[in-house]
Amino acid sequence: MNPLLRVNGLSKRYGERIGCADVGFDLYPGEVLAVVGESGSGKSTLLQLLSTRLPADAGSIHYQITGRGLVDMAHLSEAERRWLLRTDWGFVEQNPRDGLRMNVSAGANVGERLMATGARHYGQIRATASDWLARVELDPARLDELPAGFSGGMQQRLQIARNLVTRPRLVFMDEPTAGLDVSVQARLLDLMRELVTDLGLAAVIVTHDLAVARLLAHRLLVMRQGRVVETGLTDQVLDDPQHPYTQLLVSSVLQV
């Protein structure tokens, strides 16, 4: 099987400080990769680079575009890149307010990607949005309500629906459960696991929470000071960490 995403030697400096150094990995269709580490480990920088929101200083990102094979993201035109970002990719922000349009209804939030990619039938857009609300366990009767009236957990589910409506193959998630109550977190994680499995989604999830990684990810990438210190199957890494830093993380000494 060909990888969906191939990352080589990805590096970013902020002046003297290393944001991210020489990161490389392959991600296969349907595979969930968790990037774990403390704050300042470079995991958020890596996510910004992977999602092409931030230009890298060095290295490359190749993506398997349907019908075109592995394409160097740096060779895509701005229009092609944006099209990919809103059809085949998704990005779930840590704070749902950053990923939603707070001044338009839940239905418009979910429908935006459809309209941006040419959907012009109001009734169909609405029906699809309604289906997606149900799918992320939101009451479709609230389709016309503004997200501001939703709880944090509901907003996060709405943000997920807004991203998944175009059936992307790759989703980036930045601490998607942070800031939520523990019980809300658990329900959201269950839902995310179901969606990822049902849709065959590949995902890169940045998290400081090893429980999130254990529940969702097939593989782990442990980062420290901008570098990958250990990588492997999730259970292997968490049950038998090799690198002293991973051992510290797992022993929860460093857990926040």
Evaluate whether 96 touches 73 at the Cβ level (below 8 Å).
no
For residue 24, count other CB atoms closer than 10 A to its CB: 13
Q: Which amino acid is at 5?
A: L
Residue from 113, 162, 208, 219 that binds another protein (CB under 8 A)?
Answer: 113
Cβ nearer to another protein, comparing 17 with 53: 53
CB of 203 to another protein, least distance (A): 24
Tokens standing for residue 97: 């307010």
Give yes or no for residue 99 binding another protein (CB under 8 A): no
Nearer to another protein, 5 or 129 (CB): 129
DSSP one-letter string for 103-118: TS-HHHHHHHHHHHTT
Residues in the chain, overall count: 256
Stretch that binds another protein, among 11-19, 59-67, 91-99, 123-131 (CB under 8 A): 123-131
Torsion region of 22: left, alpha or beta (phi above 0 gives left; psi -120 to 50 gives alpha): left
Q: Does 237 bind another protein (CB under 8 A)?
A: no
Instruction: Look up residue 59 and give its amino acid.
Output: G
**Is 167 near another protein (CB under 8 A)?**
no
Instruction: Candidates 17, 101, 167, 193: give the one binding another protein (CB under 8 A).
Output: 101
Does residue 90 interact with another protein by CB under 8 A?
no
The binder of another protein chosen from 131, 144, 190, 194 (CB under 8 A): 144
Kindly state whether residue 16 participates in binding another protein, applying the rule CB under 8 A.
no
Which pairing describes strands 5-14 and 17-27: parallel, antiparallel, or unpaired? antiparallel
**Which tokens hold the place of 130?**
């309604």
Verify binding: residue 143, another protein, rule CB under 8 A. yes
Nearer to another protein, 127 or 191 (CB): 127
Neighbours of 144 (CB within 10 A): 10
In the list 17, 75, 98, 117, the residue contacting another protein (rule: CB under 8 A) is 117
Q: Which of the residues 30 through 89 are near another protein (CB under 8 A)?
A: 78-79, 82
For residue 191, give both structure tokens. 């839902």
Kindly tell me which residue out of 12, 126, 162, 219 binds another protein, with binding defined by CB under 8 A: 126
Return the sign of the alpha-carbon dihedral for residues 65, 66, 70, 71: negative
The token pair at 235 is: 């259970």
Q: Which residues are near another protein by CB under 8 A?
A: 78-79, 82, 101, 104-105, 107-108, 111-113, 115-117, 120-123, 125-126, 143-144
